[in-house]
Chain A
Amino acid sequence: MKQSIFLQILVICLIVFGWNVFHLAYNYQRNYYDIQLSEKPMILVSPYAAMLNALEAQIDTFRSVDFIVVESDSVIAEMLIESYDLGSASDLIGNFNLPSIMKIYLNGKYYDLKQKTDLENIISSGYPEIVINYDDKYWHDTQRKNSLLFRSYLFGNIFLIVFLLIISIFLRLHFESKSNEYWRVYKNSGGNLRLRKKRYWQNSFLICFVPISLAVGAYYGLKYFKFLPIDMDVRFFAGEFIFILLSVLISRIILGKHI
């Protein structure tokens, strides 16, 4: 019987570890897309630096805005002179009325359709003179990839939950029915009539806590030794625990009076 519990714990450990790897892979890919999106700033061009400064004050608190860089016309003139070695023509360049630009570095994680629409509405309604330069196609591509990734993640989770429930319930029922003969003999030999129920809950405790403890331990171990660059929400472990607990309760209900 000890072997059967060990086997059940081992199988559930493998499923839980697989589930965690799946979750980490999702986080990794999602982070990758977000970083890619964050690296592409929205560039606003305006003939008036003051207008950009006013806009900056207005959108600075947006969750999707990571940080803003405003480059005024004088800074741009200096950059041009420096970049193209135009020191002799500096007076001439100074006479041109160069535009100011604002680079909005977005936080890819939060820059969704709503935030994008809000930001563009503010600019187009309040500052119609500002020219927006942003790679919309890239944004749409990233959103599509994110959506596909999320759907795959969702279906993967549903599959893993169903798989975990089926496997753990099946194994539990199989081993419990296999031990029926042992318990029948035990009962008839004068053994404690409540021991089987007690053992069931003792084993359930091990089945619930050992795989989750190992998974949490492995996660924090990898984090501590810096082998894992991605973070994981601790609530995810709680979710896994709940589903293992659910399998234990379902098995108990199915077994009913047989134990």
Chain B
Amino acid sequence: MLKIENFAITLQERRFMIIDKMQVENGKKILIFGDNEAGRTLLMKSIQGNFKHHTGTIHIKEKPLSYFKKRMSSILIENTPHLLPSESVWKNITLPLEKVTSRHKSRLLELLNIAGLQEFSNTKVSQLSFSNHKMIELIRASIQLPHLILIDDIDNFFDEKRLIKALQICDYATNTGTSLLATSKRKLDHFDQYHRIQDKKMVKL
């Protein structure tokens, strides 16, 4: 699914987040953890194609990022929520879908149920908590079945209990081949693979 080779972020003559080779298989949940300033967010942005100050190559499904022009190959859930606060939960979740099929509807209701948001589907997003915002973004990403779901600083949004629910939501996508790549400051449970950033370099545990 994801293949990164000879990767390094270069900012103001500083070279960090060095990855010699990283390969993520279909349907796997990967956690990358490391200290602040390690370059976790920039790695996520690089994979999404929004950050260009890096060397090396990133391929998704054997194709370079420039191949994906119509739709992003990955969906990044950043610290800042990308939601329409004055719109309902349902509107926000179905926003990127060109057509909401009955299959989508039933799946979305299931996922909302897992997140504990079923009764809030008509509620304005601005009335919900930050953690719920992230749940909404996660449901919205999962329902689209992208190649990759990227979650930056996952430990900022969810406690242990909510994390399990969040990963359950992601299972809807990972079961169909989507890979999940999350970052955090510390090691969290329930992931398939772990990568640690130490001495500016990423190592597989």
Enumerate chain A interface residues (CB-CB to B < 8 A): 181-182, 184-194
Contact = CB atoms under 8 A, between A and B. Distances in A.
B82 interface: yes
Contacts of A193: 69-72
Interface of B: 69-72, 75-76, 78, 82-84, 92, 95-96, 98, 137, 140-141, 144, 146
A196 to B, nearest CB: 12
B70 A190 contact: no
29 contacts: A181-B84, A184-B82, A185-B82, A185-B84, A185-B92, A185-B95, A186-B96, A187-B72, A188-B75, A188-B76, A188-B78, A189-B75, A189-B82, A189-B137, A189-B140, A189-B141, A190-B75, A190-B140, A190-B141, A190-B144, A190-B146, A191-B96, A192-B70, A192-B96, A192-B98, A193-B69, A193-B70, A193-B72, A194-B70
Contacts of B72: 187, 190, 193
A191 B146 CA distance: 11
Contact of A190 (B69, B83, B92, B96): B96
Contacts of B71: 190-193
A193 B78 CA distance: 18
Contacts of A194: 69-70
Contacts of A187: 72
B125 to A, nearest CB: 10
Nearest to A186: B95
A193 B74 CA distance: 13
A210 B98 CA distance: 25
Q: Which label, helix, strand, loop or mixed, suits the secondary structure of the B interface?
A: loop
Contacts of B83: 185
- Top 8 A-B pairs ranked by shortest CB distance? A191-B96, A188-B82, A190-B75, A189-B96, A190-B96, A185-B82, A190-B144, A189-B95
Nearest to A195: B98
Nearest to A181: B84
A182 B98 CA distance: 15
A239 B70 CA distance: 36
- Most B CB contacts (10 A, CB to CB) among A184, A185, A192, A194 go to A185
- Most B CB contacts (10 A, CB to CB) among A181, A186, A187, A191 go to A191
A184 B140 CA distance: 15
A182 B87 CA distance: 10
Contacts of A186: 95-96
Contacts of B140: 189-190
A156 to B, nearest CB: 43
Nearest to B145: A190
A192 B97 CA distance: 9
B36 to A, nearest CB: 23
B126 to A, nearest CB: 13
Contacts of B144: 190
Contacts of B137: 189
Contacts of A188: 75-76, 78, 82
Nearest to B68: A193
A194 B68 CA distance: 12
Nearest to B83: A185
Contacts of A182: 84
B118 to A, nearest CB: 20
B4 to A, nearest CB: 21
A190 B72 CA distance: 6
A191 B141 CA distance: 10
A220 B16 CA distance: 72
A191 B95 contact: yes
Nearest to B149: A190
- Most B CB contacts (10 A, CB to CB) among A181, A184, A187, A188 go to A188
B205 to A, nearest CB: 30
